[in-house]
Structure 1
Amino acid sequence: MEDLVKKADELKYEYIALTEHNPSQQGHSEKDIVEILKKKREKVDAINYSIEKSTNNSIQKVFNSLEIDIKPDGSLPVSNIGLDTLDFALVSIHSSFSLERSEQTGRVLSALSHPKVKIFAHPTGRKLNEREGAELNWPEIFEFCLKEDKWIEINCDPMRLDLPDTMVREAVKLGVKLTFGTDAHHVDGMNNMIFGVSVARLNNMIFGVSVARRGWSTADDIINTRSLEEFEKLLKGGE
């Protein structure tokens, strides 16, 4: 945890969200999961206290978050008590990819409906050269996110690049807000950011020549390009 925060500081980030996967329900009781999340909350609070005492950090805040599996019925494997330890949550599909379109879409919308959930992470669920994404009604999901102020991740892992560039373009046209997530499982993974930026950007420049137009997004479309003050305001539903 501290290594990721140190790397964020080296990258001159003003803030970072720690979004590891939820503890598995296999081998953990609901009480166990809550205790794990409470301990993480305490650790994040201690890191933030240390940051506040320092005067020479670029990093100003660490957000306590979690990437939570969406169960096949759309419910979440973390209780409300556990969710209350978080600043916000991400949800994502890691199983039951073969559900038919309407059922899969309903599953996602049910998970996104929880007030603690803010971001739909690696939303198609695809893995390049390995697995196709889930069948989803994207106009319905985009409409829901726009109406309910939910955000969609551009996952920067080069094996995902998810949301794909064509769908980034559709989201941007509708005014749906996006976020970058490096999907870093170790410090080096934070260098994935450049791949997500490539998917999202209006164009790629090589030797001053525009060679590709991909997601057609600008910094205004990507929530975590904002300052810490703006990001915190947007988390609370402000503009």
Structure 2
Amino acid sequence: MSKKRYQSSKKVVAAGTYGNFANLESIKDFPLICYRHQGFGNLKKFLLQCRSSSHSESIGGTASSRASLGPSQTLRTHELLSMAIQMLKAVQHLHKYGIIHKDIATRNCLVSEIPAKISNDRMYVQLCDNALSKDLFPNDYHCLGDNENRPLKWMAPETFKSKVHNSASDVWQFGVALWELFTCAQQPFSEIEPEEMLAELEQGIRLGQPYNCPDELYGAMYCCWQREALQRPTTGQLLKVLDEFNVQLRKYI
């Protein structure tokens, strides 16, 4: 494997591939790019910290329906929605090239803060495929007697039955990730045992509406959890719904 280090404004610190950069014909696969990340880090950990801070404020007598980032910062609905839209655009980009993610969740995202002079949005979210997420969040993965750890509580019914992964199963997982955002990373289906998940889903059990989640957004989540894959929206349809709601929401900011 050849490696080459870079110093650039894009913060690429290294790239690796099987082959040799000096001989492009020897490169048989896409190179692995290593970026420097300066931000809050893992999105799920960040949301958990927000929830903890918000809970502490409430105990202290300052009730808040928003996740606290610090003494004077909070995650507001339009910021959570912006983060969701960024995640969805990333999924849509992957699907455009025929790539199925298979593990869409807040634990597989990075988050950082954007300087106000650069963007109207404050949070920048990147969807990743974090190989360490199974080690960082072991309670998010379970096996059903086959020694294969899977994110069972994020999975669509058809994935349980035949291990099918497609754009529709990614949409199901995005709905769960959206629920995670608006609950500040609560565990989905925490009261259901992993081996009971498929039966519960087939009986119509779905995640409930977070208390601070607008009806329009919960409706978008719920559409992602249609039992039949063909009845779920595409990423393009979902993006249109979220973008339209975002426009309406920002009129009141």
TM-score, structure 2 as length reference = 0.24
Higher relative contact order (CA 8 A, sep 6+): 2
User: Greater CA radius of gyration, 1 or 2?
Assistant: 2
